[in-house]
Structure 1
Amino acid sequence: MKVTEHIEKANGKTLFSFEILPPLKGQNIQSIFDGIDPLMEFNPPFIDVTYHREEYEYKELASGLLERRVVKKRPGTVGICSAIQNKYQVDAIPHILCGGFTKEDTENFLIDLDFLGIQNVVALRGDAVKSEIYFRPEKDGHHYATELVTQIANLNNGVYLDEELLNSACTDFCIGVAGYPEKHMEAPSLDSDLHFLKQKIKNGAQYIITQMFFDNHKFFEFVAKCRKEGITVPIIPGLKPIATKKQLNTIPHRFKVDLPDDLIMEVVKAKDNDAVKQVGIEWCTAQSKELVKAGIPVLHYYSMGKAENIKAIAKAVF
């Protein structure tokens, strides 16, 4: 079932969903199930599976030149989605990136998903690899998520890269895209960011899922600005509880989001990581309750395979 259909079927009830990481190469699917099992009592209608693009490493050749080699650290998104749908009978939603894919790679990836009966995807540009400062698309790949959305929407209309195909089948993907309540880190302004978000919707995206935020007012302001711009699709908030003191520095640096002073001070005062986790649970629980009260259709948690704190929040909210 599509995300939009899940929302319609809920008749105003707020749904619970979460996101997981593929395991590192060398680990098996059980590590995924261990992070999902404790959360199934809250009846998630869908579970997102991130895609981590290949990293690069450089090896010096005998000639003295550097050879760039691909290192695939987290494979298996398609297989994980299939396993989740088979084991739990819920919709699994793979993330699809511009980075690391040619247009043909993307089309083949989507064909595989369609064969597996996967009806939802999240289309993202993706970040630059760690060895590079700026995002660099693959040769014959997409530069922007707007282009990726267009390719998926084209497949939904039976339009493939090979224009000579006859009687080509239409896919039926529900396309999600990212939204940034505090703007994308590379966007010059929130208004310019909203311009491109609106373009993604125009190109075929059907719902928005946001970057994490820790101040609900920023989310509500973002939604209001989207509606003013004529963006009417469902907007799903992405939530993540603070779990370590280190995250006071890493989250703002990596994701370019602000942490409220009250949250910062509570984390600073915490005696150990267990106390920090409790602060994070209580803060995220308060956020969640306010969002439910506001009638938000889905609360989406970035669990990244760690179920303990998400379960504590869900118990208090759902």
Structure 2
Amino acid sequence: MRPQISFEFFPPKSLEASFRLWDTVQTLSPLQPEFVSVTYGAGGTTRKLTHEAVDAIHKTSGLNVAAHLTCVDATRAETLEIAESYAASGVTDLVALRGDPPKGSGQFTAHPEGFANSCELIEALAQTGKFNIRVGAYPEAHPEAASTQADVDWLKRKVDAGAHSAITQFFFEADTFFRFRDACDKAGITAPILPGILPIENWKGARKFAQSCGTSIPQWLDEAFEKAERDDRQDLLATAICTELCSDLLDGGVEHLHFYTLNRPELTRDVCHALGVTPEVRLENVA
């Protein structure tokens, strides 16, 4: 059975990055994702760029676009105005997040007239009745969370506030997701939870990213990439590892995979192909 898929993009900050985003969209859209999401930068720094990218992808590609929306550095009225502008343009999927604070500012501090946290934002969006609301989830403890159970409890609050589904932070082993899924089931969370997959384009960069967001780094991964680098087989290893992770998840009952593409589509495309997710070719009758 063909798994459902979705992709995350980030908005471009330069002309070169714009071309890379459009190349990514063109490469991956034939795989017919259920949706694609477009991120905010830390501290809401790409708010305008995100809006422009969402609007352009929505109008030109025919894809269902989910726009990231955060609580950072904006009043409630400003945040809801952004949401309403999305709805007016036909974008009704939102990924509602608290958001990361601006770099160098330390912990998140709510705007005096803004939403204090993601639950407040979700509740306000749900009250409009206009949006399909997706949220973040953490299969391993968020750096600011007391424990993994605290993350499960917070996800339950977000679902109770009106979230329709959740997308997890990336992880490197399928059992990490399965343990989290079991804990969510035990907590009474019935909303779909989509595992977030990070194809490893560059191990040093992925490792640094993992350390910053609390993702466990298995020793075998360090050893495998060290050997692959010596043999100049990093791309082969990255494809194999990501494909195996996705296969394990599908074997465990997962029906939808969400890929963090980093606007570099080739590895994600190759993994999808290996999983049997290929462009559908329509054959027309020839007279």
Q: What is the TM-score normalised by the length of structure 1?
A: 0.81
Is the contact between residue 25 and residue 74 of structure 1 (CA under 8 Å) also seen in structure 2?
no
Deviation at 1:74, TM superposition (A): 6.7
Q: Over residues 65-85 of structure 1, what are the superposed CA-to-partner deviations in whole Å (9 max), with x where a residue is unaligned?
A: xxxxxxx45732122112212
Deviation at 1:13, TM superposition (A): 4.6
Q: Over residues 143-186 of structure 1, what are the superposed CA-to-partner deviations in whole Å (9 max), with x where a residue is unaligned?
A: 21111101111222xxxxxxxxxxxxxxx201111110002111
Shift in alpha-carbon separation, 1:54–1:25, aligned structure 2, 3 A = farther
Aligned to 1:298: 256
Shift in alpha-carbon separation, 1:44–1:273, aligned structure 2, 3 A = farther
Superposition RMSD on alpha carbons, in Å? 2.0
The percentage of aligned residue pairs carrying the same residue is 30
Among 1, 19, 34, the alignment partner of 2:8 is: 19
Is the contact between residue 40 and residue 46 of structure 2 (CA under 8 Å) also seen in structure 1?
no
1:232 counterpart = 2:205: no
Q: Over residues 36-88 of structure 1, what are the superposed CA-to-partner deviations in whole Å (9 max), with x where a residue is unaligned?
A: 11112211121110012557xxxxxxxxxxxxxxxx45732122112212222
Aligned to 2:283: none
- Matches of 1:305 and 1:74 in 2, distance apart? 18
Q: Which runs of 5+ in 1 are unaligned?
A: 1-11, 56-71, 157-171
1:49 counterpart = 2:38: yes
Residue identity opposite 2:239 in structure 1: I
Deviation at 1:244, TM superposition (A): 2.0
Please say which of residues 258-267 and 118-127 is displaced more in the overlay: 258-267
Aligned to 1:189: 147
Q: Over residues 118-146 of structure 1, what are the superposed CA-to-partner deviations in whole Å (9 max), with x where a residue is unaligned?
A: 12101111112112121122221122111
**SS in structure 2 at match of 1:266:** helix
Among 72, 81, 89, the alignment partner of 2:62 is: 89
Trace 1:169-318 onto structure 2 (pairs within 5 A): 172-247=130-205, 249-271=207-229, 275-317=233-275, 318=277
Q: Over residues 195-246 of structure 1, what are the superposed CA-to-partner deviations in whole Å (9 max), with x where a residue is unaligned?
A: 1110110010010100000010010010011011000011100000222242
Among 46, 51, 66, the alignment partner of 1:78 is: 51
Among 87, 96, 99, the alignment partner of 1:123 is: 96
Trace 1:126-165 onto structure 2 (pairs within 5 A): 126-156=99-129
Shift in alpha-carbon separation, 1:79–1:92, aligned structure 2, 3 A = same
Residue identity opposite 1:136 in structure 2: T
Shift in alpha-carbon separation, 1:145–1:74, aligned structure 2, 3 A = closer
- Matches of 2:232 and 2:77 in 1, distance apart? 47
Is the contact between residue 22 and residue 50 of structure 1 (CA under 8 Å) also seen in structure 2?
yes
Residue identity opposite 2:67 in structure 1: P
Is the contact between residue 207 and residue 217 of structure 2 (CA under 8 Å) also seen in structure 1?
no
Shift in alpha-carbon separation, 1:183–1:27, aligned structure 2, 3 A = same
Is the contact between residue 29 and residue 80 of structure 1 (CA under 8 Å) also seen in structure 2?
no
Is the contact between residue 238 and residue 301 of structure 1 (CA under 8 Å) also seen in structure 2?
yes
Shift in alpha-carbon separation, 1:50–1:255, aligned structure 2, 3 A = same
Shift in alpha-carbon separation, 1:153–1:34, aligned structure 2, 3 A = same
- Matches of 2:209 and 2:17 in 1, distance apart? 28
Residue identity opposite 2:35 in structure 1: F
After the TM superposition, list the runs of 4 or more consecutive aligned residues in structure 1 that deviate by more than 4 angstroms. Answer: 25-29
- Matches of 2:192 and 2:215 in 1, distance apart? 22
Residue identity opposite 1:268 in structure 2: E
Higher helix fraction (1 or 2): 2
Query: Which entry has the higher C-alpha Rg, 1 or 2?
Result: 1
- Matches of 1:135 and 1:212 in 2, distance apart? 21
Is the contact between residue 97 and residue 135 of structure 2 (CA under 8 Å) also seen in structure 1?
yes
Residue identity opposite 1:15 in structure 2: Q
- Matches of 2:270 and 2:81 in 1, distance apart? 39
Deviation at 1:16, TM superposition (A): 1.4
**SS in structure 1 at match of 2:233:** helix
Is the contact between residue 43 and residue 101 of structure 2 (CA under 8 Å) also seen in structure 1?
no
